[in-house]
Amino acid sequence: MLNQQPKHWLNFIGGAWVDSDRRIEVRDPSTDQVFATIASAGSEHVEQAMAAARRTVQQGALTRQRPAERAELLHRIGGEIRKLAEEGAEVASRENGKSVNDARDEFLESARYFEYYAGMADKIEGKSIPLGEDYIDFTCYEPQGVSVQIVPWNFPVSICARSLAPALAAGNAVVVKSPELSPLAITLLAVACERAGLPAGALSVLAGPGREIGAALVAHQDTNQIVFTGSVPTGQAIMRSAAERAVPCVMELGGKSAAVAFADADLDQLMASVQGGIFFNAGQVCSAMSRLLVQREIYDEVVGRVAELAQGLSIGGGRDNPDLTPVVSMQQRDGILSMCRDAEADGARLVTGGYPVDGLPGAFVQPTVFADVTPQMRLFCEEVFGPVIAITPFDSEAEAFELANGTDYGLVAGVFTRDLSRALRAAQVLEAGQVFVNEWFAGGIETPFGGNRLSGYGREKGQEALYSYVRTKNVAIRVSR
Ligand code: NAD
């Protein structure tokens, strides 16, 4: 397959495909069987990747180009990703469990990131600041330098593309640390970059243990920026390490996001959003609709309809493109089931699901609905990262917004109502980086995405994200007379 052996994959370091004497076994979550291995990088590979990135920055391999040339390069990378989408979807589905259709979409979305930021590569413009006639003052944007990007397993390809594309557009060199559980499909981004003619050294992709390889990249003296997407505890460890050398970070952490459904909501619209919101990618989405707050008048009806929806979902391996696929690993499955048992012990009402799927050997969790969940319960406050929705009743608007804001997270929030003023009040009050009105996941790669509070800081996507990958320099010139 491509530059790689079919069953053993390599790291991409400084423009070369590199093996290692250590390996990571990659399992298919629908069977729990190992189907491939990938070279597991060691400290020497970290040094090689960082040295290649540093050289690329020092030699100006990307910044000497006219920005319009960089734009063309990014367009070519987008095109190469499109060509790899079919093959990549098979691999991404197999290593992660997601459906082939969703995996293909992930590749196409990744191509879009490159095409979108290609359009911005030649528009990173500074400004002139008036200081009176004795001065000329202007700002310019410089790349950060070496951007270290640490990627989680739930959408490894598109989360990688989301940061890689603007970083390259701005002229940075990038070293990616892929997730241990899904390290294969992400390497196809390196194949696309190589085929499109990205200078060697501008991108390395390393697989390896986070606490070893990830931590070494974060602490490396040549790291100028860290972009991390993953869990809160790992993000906190990275921020502590980055503080040693004051390295700027973008942190995309988890969430426990709530949809607020008022009695006047269009319930068909709500149900479509519930299906995507909590069952897409088996609920392993940082911005999942993991909580649903429902006004008392429609509470029983909505609980019934969500349960009916959950019970009607088809379940199976990613190749069959069912509604619900396995979670990423048996360990993840067991963690989710243990949270379900805790929720029952805390007094939440298990309406449907909550157990493994009979007859399927892999990491399958039944689509799960808990009702009567209260703010004191762990299920209300903590991320499950699986197909489990927690439903809570409310009476007044004020109570609804308080419940929605009642966790330490602040990633996304949603409101379902026909009352525009109420929707706008919600948008003002809900403490989240993005608020959806009447459609969960509304928005796109053009709209800024990121969290507040424990969900992190910094924004990805949209024009705004580009400015995470540059630093501002001001030049003030005294004019002699
Ligand atoms: P994780 O934090 O365990 O791992 C994420 C990455 O960090 C992996 O590549 C891992 O190898 C690496 N890592 C682990 N320890 C490290 C260390 N000490 N130093 C450097 N790197 C280290 O998260 P995960 O289990 O892969 O992903 C699930 C979590 O990610 C969930 O909490 C989810 O909400 C969050 N997430 C957030 C977003 C977002 O955009 N906000 C997107 C996807 C996932």
Q: List pLDDT tens digits, range 370-381.
A: 999 999 999 999
pLDDT of residue 6: 58
pLDDT at 5 over 60: no
d(CA 373, CA 394): 11
pLDDT of residue 1: 44
pTM of structure: 0.96
pLDDT of residue 9: 98
pLDDT of residue 2: 47
Which runs of E-coded beta strand occur in 235-330?
Answer: 249-252, 258-261, 291-295
Q: What's the average model confidence in pLDDT over 383-412?
A: 98
Query: How does pLDDT run across 349-371, given as a tens digit for each residue?
Result: 999 999 999 999 999 999 999 99
Query: Using CB atoms within 10 A of its CB, is residue 312 exposed (0-12), middle (13-18) or buried (19+)?
Result: exposed
Q: Indicate the range of 2-11, 185-194, 266-275, 472-481 predicted with least confidence.
A: 2-11
d(CA 19, CA 3): 12
Q: Give nearest CA residue, ligand 1 atom 12.
A: 210
**Is the CB–ligand 1 distance for residue 203 below 6 Å?**
no
- Residue 320, both tokens: 């069959």
pLDDT of residue 119: 98
Query: How does pLDDT run across 136-177, given as a tens digit for each residue?
Result: 999 999 999 999 999 999 999 999 999 999 999 999 999 999
**Beta pairing class for 388-394 and 291-295:** parallel
Q: Please, what is the average pLDDT of the chain? A: 97
Q: Are 257 and 290 in contact (CB under 8 A)?
A: yes
pLDDT of residue 225: 98
d(CA 269, CA 267): 5
Q: Give nearest CA residue, ligand 1 atom 13.
A: 210
Among 115, 180, 252, 397, the active-site one is 252
Q: Indicate the range of 3-12, 91-100, 117-126 predicted with least confidence.
A: 3-12
The alpha carbons of the chain give a radius of gyration, in whole angstroms, of 23
DSSP 8-state secondary structure symbol assigned to residue 365: B
**Is the CB–ligand 1 distance for residue 238 below 6 Å?**
yes
d(CA 419, CA 404): 18
399: annotated active-site residue:
no
**Is the CB–ligand 1 distance for residue 201 below 6 Å?**
no
HSE-up (13 A, CA, CB side) for residue 420: 0
**Beta pairing class for 434-437 and 412-416:** parallel
Please, what is the angle between helix 156-169 and helix 100-118, to 10°?
A: 10
**Is the CB–ligand 1 distance for residue 230 below 6 Å?**
yes
Cα 301 to Cα 53, 117, 136, 261, 342, distances in angstroms: 57, 45, 66, 12, 26
d(CA 203, CA 141): 21
Q: Which 3 state secondary structure label does DSSP give 268?
A: helix
Ligand 1 atom closest to the Cα of residue 177 is: 9
Query: How does pLDDT run across 13-63, given as a tens digit for each residue?
Result: 999 999 999 999 999 999 999 999 999 999 999 999 999 999 999 999 999
